[in-house]
Copies of this chain bind each other. A is one copy, B any other.
Amino acid sequence: MARKPTKPEKIRLTEVAKLAGVSPITASRFFRTPEALSAGKRVRVESAARELGYVPNLAARALASQRTEVIGVLIPSLTNNVFSDVLRGIYDALDGSRYSIQLANTRYSILLEERLLRLFLAQKPAGLIVTGINQTADSRKIMEAVDCPIVQIMEIGPSPVDMMIGFSHFDASKAAISHLLEQGYRRIGFLGARMDPRVQRRLDGYQAAMTEAGLFDQRLIVTTAVPTSVTLGGTLFADLLSKAPEIEAVFCVNDDLALGAMFECKRRHMPVPDQMAIIGFNDLEFVSSSVPPLSSVRTNRYEMGRNAGTMVIEALEGRRPAQPVVDLGFSVIARQSSVRKP
Instruction: Please determine whether B118 and A55 come into contact, CB atoms closer than 8 angstroms.
Output: yes
Instruction: Please determine whether B285 and A231 come into contact, CB atoms closer than 8 angstroms.
Output: yes
Instruction: Please determine whether A58 and B102 come into contact, CB atoms closer than 8 angstroms.
Output: no
A84 — which chain B residues lie within 8 A by C-beta? 78-79, 81, 84
Whole-angstrom distance between the alpha carbons of A85 and B84 in the complex? 12
A122 — which chain B residues lie within 8 A by C-beta? 55-58
- Secondary structure dominating the interface of A: helix
1/0 per position for A90-109, CB-CB distance to B under 8 A?
Answer: 01000000001111110000
A121 — which chain B residues lie within 8 A by C-beta? 55
Q: Restricting to A283-323, which residues have a CB under 8 Å from any CB of B?
A: 285-286, 288-291
In this complex, the interface size class of chain A, counting residues with CB under 8 Å from chain B, is: 35 or more
Whole-angstrom distance between the alpha carbons of A63 and B3 in the complex? 14
Whole-angstrom distance between the alpha carbons of A35 and B280 in the complex? 54
1/0 per position for A40-70, CB-CB distance to B under 8 A?
Answer: 0000000000000001111110110000100
A100 — which chain B residues lie within 8 A by C-beta? 102, 104, 119
Instruction: Please determine whether B105 and A102 come into contact, CB atoms closer than 8 angstroms.
Output: no
A220 touches B (CB below 8 Å): no
A288 — which chain B residues lie within 8 A by C-beta? 231
Partner of A123, one of B59, B63, B103, B256: B59
Whole-angstrom distance between the alpha carbons of A173 and B121 in the complex? 46
Q: Restricting to A234-271, which residues have a CB under 8 Å from any CB of B?
A: 234, 256, 259-260, 263, 266-267
Are A91 and B105 also in contact (CB < 8 A) when A55-B122, A58-B122, A84-B84 are?
yes
A124 touches B (CB below 8 Å): yes
User: Closest CB-CB distance, A242 to chain B, in whole Å?
Assistant: 18
Whole-angstrom distance between the alpha carbons of A119 and B96 in the complex? 12
User: Closest CB-CB distance, A227 to chain B, in whole Å?
Assistant: 10
A229 touches B (CB below 8 Å): yes
13 A-B pairs besides A55-B122, A58-B62, A231-B288 with CB distance below 8 A are A55-B118, A58-B123, A59-B59, A59-B124, A78-B87, A84-B84, A101-B104, A102-B102, A229-B286, A230-B289, A231-B286, A256-B286, A260-B289
Q: 4 nearest interchain CB pairs? A: A59-B62, A230-B286, A59-B63, A231-B289
